[in-house]
Structure 1
């Protein structure tokens, strides 16, 4: 690589009179001050999580489900504002990509921080209730002090040594309880320090072997003769294990809730919040120097490749796709590998050393992967850990989805955010990256397949609905070209066909499940087209409407998958003649759709009307914003918004 740099610099010097051009430097330093201020505001805004978590801990807000709703609304608004700000500043792809990715990182960190502490706050509340129940139970044996004395008499003589029982002799209930508690302590301690194929920590480390980690003593009433009291005491012990870290400091909730702790979490290169992390005892200046030099040196190589082997070969309209691939495949592959090295080997390790963070496993040998799911697990360990804990395991813990469904939803969410980053950076939506990241659903099981009901989807209402979807790109083009009269005509066509297909479906019993999906999809496509194009023309703010519709679209993919009768194959997933789930719009969503269409129509017609409608449009925008948030929440909390259909009968007309 050094020879490549020297050859490039020498050739460029003899050809142009300078070794390195500054075109790319001018590009990525554009509006740098505004980018730095914007990023500082973004990072500072995340500290609002600390008082919010304190409110959860004190019981002012219950995490389930008020706190969760507030968290999701905050994250959607933050992401929408960040994307809107990126478009408003008209940043180049470097600044847009950095700010969008950093926004996603901050959102993942804040989610993990609030979700973990929210769960612990709810667990602490349950612990307090259990302790009150335990004290009431001890009244039946003469009081708490008497129960302590009885438990002390029933305890083993040497609690610090392991009790050996003859082969075939079962442990007593009290011994079994104590054995379970100790086993869980050992497993928790082992889970924190056990790492396969990890980068070895520095010699001066605060890593403690399992045997040196101080164990939390079980509750003193664990050995009580009363099984009811012993079980309650065991529950308290297990809760204490979850409320206490497994490191040497034994940090206990809620002692971790502070601005200093949150700042430390922001500094460590991980996306999953823990009460305590493995730590090194000191910062090594030479290691910091090594990673700093490696960062700037490798970035110089990345800059040279981009400046001389990518920018000059940017595809033109008259160049074939095959030629573009041939020219750019190798430079882009090298750039990807170099960028991976800078992020995971230099920057992550540098921040880990500065924060004395002991876990340095930021990636594994992804180059030896034999499948995409293995590659996804290995190439980015921080993101994989976040998705594993907060998406996959959280989906399974709800007990509503299978492992296959949880896996699919995890990959779907990852694909959506990857596509979002590409859309912000390139200002285009191509969906090929999204499609390639989705796994092909495997067979749903070995059970005998049940007969599946098919329905006729080739109806006039469905054809009219599809025609509205096809008209949306033409409508967007008309608005961008300033042809507001033509755009108004297409908008009227969409409104008339929307009424006609609904009338025909009801009058002639042509209602289908795919129609219940296509009809709102056509409305959302129309709304999204109008919102984006009118916003690009500077006629409409778009953040809230787009944020709600993006969430609803993701939910549609998810419900289609979990409701599809087995076998869950890729072909059957896209076969919409197989009904699986039915979407029923809520009443407020109908009002909101009408108001949104009214706003879009008024905004589209306004340029061709010789009247000043700015005040009326502003009032209508505020009304639409309020009803949009309301309707989005109604889909979350309404029991009848989404109905999973039976596999044995078609939907009722």
Structure 2
């Protein structure tokens, strides 16, 4: 019988409805059952489909959302808050608002813009790496992975070094570093996903050669093909082709500049061969999101300028931390909601409309969360899906970690990245945010107690109490020092 080398290797599993499940299935090991169930769950979680965001106004009106009146009330209240602040400030100072924060925001914008363009341009190196793999200049395994990790480490290290050297104000530094981390996630997903596909492509080519050898050997020996081996080869070739294809796009045809540029514009951090798309760009919808961005940004500016900075600036010496937290609870809560709305409703939807990206599920109903892990899953879905695919699942499949260990690893990495941002912004290593995030672990445990599970409102109360008190506490620990140092410059 003709020897078919690949048939001794592990069989490729592929579910055509689950585009994420591209790893070979393990046939042995004590975590087999656990890994299979996890892959099935995550494959379902990564299905992109056309859907609107929760606060999309036309959809809320069309579907008769029961809380659309409260949504309207919130913005009316914010409008009156804006009017009250302007009139009060005009009476006291003769100006409707202060220009202190504006002077910070407008500082060194040209340098920031140029630096951000370089940051974006550097992401195209990931396209070059993947193109080199397609041309077989080197393979994904070993050399490809080493190059990938060197590139990603250099990208982040240079971005951090540049931000520290430029010594921008905290607003510009925050924007630049967060954009660098988002780009890092994008390029990691792009290289990793296409790298896995390249391995499957090599296996597909190997299977085709095995099939040709089988046919050639049967002709030379004047004997029929072994039906079992022939059928197994056909099945595995079809499985491999399915793994490399989604809709009408097949690897390596997706590795093009156009495809990579579209991926950069898409408001997602996980790469797929194809995404659901809208038929056209709606100019009026885009104008609405731009208008919403402008209005919300003005509200955020006024809140920070008149409600947060004065408390941090004028309550430096001999001021109780508890008193400052009480003074900052409401402003920080409003600022948190406004930042959330700007990023996930205005910016993400704006880029989605420009790129015709149809899946607008950038967040779920995080305000109903009963635990902080539920909040982490729901309030920032792009980051959650990245961690789910490239940290949680990979740690289980590649390093054979248990579900529990993979969860802790994901949580630890997320906490370290958050603290890294704060270290760069404040230029100090304090670990305040890291410790508060680690403190969420016992809160998560508490949220899973039977009494909390029986009464979800109790868990939601604990969640909101932790959020509204934790934000101003971080403000006292971090932001006050930044404001003081800014004033001293």
Q: TM-score of the superposition, structure 2-length normalised?
A: 0.72
Deviation of the 1:115 alpha carbon: 0.7
Listed one character per residue, the Cα deviations across residues 519-541 of structure 1 (whole Å, up to 9, x for unaligned) are xxxxxxxxxxxxxxxxxxxxxxx
SS at 1:142 equivalent: helix
Deviation of the 1:123 alpha carbon: 1.1
Deviation of the 1:225 alpha carbon: 7.5
Listed one character per residue, the Cα deviations across residues 592-636 of structure 1 (whole Å, up to 9, x for unaligned) are xxxxxxxxxxxxxxxxxxxxxxxxxxxxxxxxxxxxxxxxxxxxx
Map of 1:56 onto structure 2:
133
Match of 2:101 among 13, 18, 24: 24
Gaps of 5+ in 1: 148-223, 443-653
SS at 1:430 equivalent: coil
Deviation of the 1:399 alpha carbon: 4.6
Q: Tell me if 1:303 matches 2:306.
A: no
Distance 2:184 2:269 in 1: 9
SS at 1:60 equivalent: coil
Distance 2:436 2:236 in 1: 46
| 1:9–1:19 Cα contact (<8 Å) kept | yes
SS at 2:239 equivalent: helix
Map of 1:327 onto structure 2:
327
Map of 1:435 onto structure 2:
435
Distance 2:197 2:85 in 1: 57
Distance 2:126 2:399 in 1: 28
Deviation of the 1:437 alpha carbon: 2.4
Map of 1:393 onto structure 2:
393
Q: Tell me if 1:113 matches 2:190.
A: yes
Distance 1:114 1:75 in 2: 10
Q: Tell me if 1:98 matches 2:175.
A: yes
Runs of 4+ in 1 over 6 A off after TM superposition: none
Deviation of the 1:68 alpha carbon: 1.5
Map of 2:235 onto structure 1:
234
| 1:268–1:357 Cα contact (<8 Å) kept | yes
Distance 1:429 1:333 in 2: 25
Comparing 432-441 with 125-134, greater Cα deviation is found at: 432-441
Map of 1:6 onto structure 2:
83
Distance 1:402 1:130 in 2: 33
Distance 2:427 2:259 in 1: 38
SS at 2:183 equivalent: helix
Distance 1:416 1:399 in 2: 20
Listed one character per residue, the Cα deviations across residues 446-498 of structure 1 (whole Å, up to 9, x for unaligned) are xxxxxxxxxxxxxxxxxxxxxxxxxxxxxxxxxxxxxxxxxxxxxxxxxxxxx
Map of 2:40 onto structure 1:
none
The structure whose residues are more often helix, as a share, is 2
Map of 2:337 onto structure 1:
337
Distance 2:434 2:399 in 1: 27
Listed one character per residue, the Cα deviations across residues 31-84 of structure 1 (whole Å, up to 9, x for unaligned) are 110000000000011111122101112221221222122211222222121111
Q: Equivalent residues in 2 for 1:194-213 (5 A)?
A: none
SS at 1:405 equivalent: helix
Distance 2:238 2:411 in 1: 36
Distance 2:151 2:321 in 1: 42
Map of 1:284 onto structure 2:
282
Count of matched residue pairs: 363
Map of 1:267 onto structure 2:
265
Q: Describe the shift of the 1:63–1:317 C-alpha distance in structure 2 as closer, same or farther (beyond 3 A).
A: farther
Distance 1:418 1:391 in 2: 16
Q: TM-score of the superposition, structure 1-length normalised?
A: 0.54
SS at 2:279 equivalent: coil
Distance 2:330 2:143 in 1: 50
SS at 1:324 equivalent: helix
Deviation of the 1:435 alpha carbon: 2.6
Map of 1:69 onto structure 2:
146
| 1:50–1:262 Cα contact (<8 Å) kept | yes
Map of 1:169 onto structure 2:
none
Listed one character per residue, the Cα deviations across residues 227-251 of structure 1 (whole Å, up to 9, x for unaligned) are 1111111111111111011x3xx10
Relative contact order: is structure 1 or structure 2 higher (C-alpha 8 Å, sep ≥ 6)? 2
Q: Equivalent residues in 2 for 1:402-413 (5 A)?
A: 402-413=402-413
Distance 1:366 1:46 in 2: 31
| 1:57–1:118 Cα contact (<8 Å) kept | no
Deviation of the 1:430 alpha carbon: 2.3
Distance 2:277 2:393 in 1: 26
SS at 1:396 equivalent: helix
Map of 2:8 onto structure 1:
none
Distance 1:68 1:405 in 2: 24
Distance 2:165 2:324 in 1: 31
Distance 1:332 1:80 in 2: 31
Distance 2:164 2:328 in 1: 27
Map of 2:156 onto structure 1:
79
Supply the RMSD in Å over aligned alpha carbons: 2.0
Listed one character per residue, the Cα deviations across residues 113-132 of structure 1 (whole Å, up to 9, x for unaligned) are 11111111111011111111
Task: Give the greater-gyration-radius structure (CA).
Answer: 1
| 1:423–1:429 Cα contact (<8 Å) kept | yes
Map of 2:256 onto structure 1:
258
Distance 1:27 1:403 in 2: 45
Listed one character per residue, the Cα deviations across residues 391-410 of structure 1 (whole Å, up to 9, x for unaligned) are 11111111531111111111
Distance 1:98 1:86 in 2: 10
Distance 1:140 1:121 in 2: 28
Listed one character per residue, the Cα deviations across residues 338-395 of structure 1 (whole Å, up to 9, x for unaligned) are 0000000111011101101011100000111111211111111111111111111111
Deviation of the 1:318 alpha carbon: 2.4
Distance 1:426 1:337 in 2: 23
Map of 2:456 onto structure 1:
none
Match of 1:313 among 295, 311, 314: 311
Match of 2:219 among 139, 142, 154: 142
Q: Equivalent residues in 2 for 1:478-497 (5 A)?
A: none
Deviation of the 1:140 alpha carbon: 4.5
Listed one character per residue, the Cα deviations across residues 173-227 of structure 1 (whole Å, up to 9, x for unaligned) are xxxxxxxxxxxxxxxxxxxxxxxxxxxxxxxxxxxxxxxxxxxxxxxxxxx9711
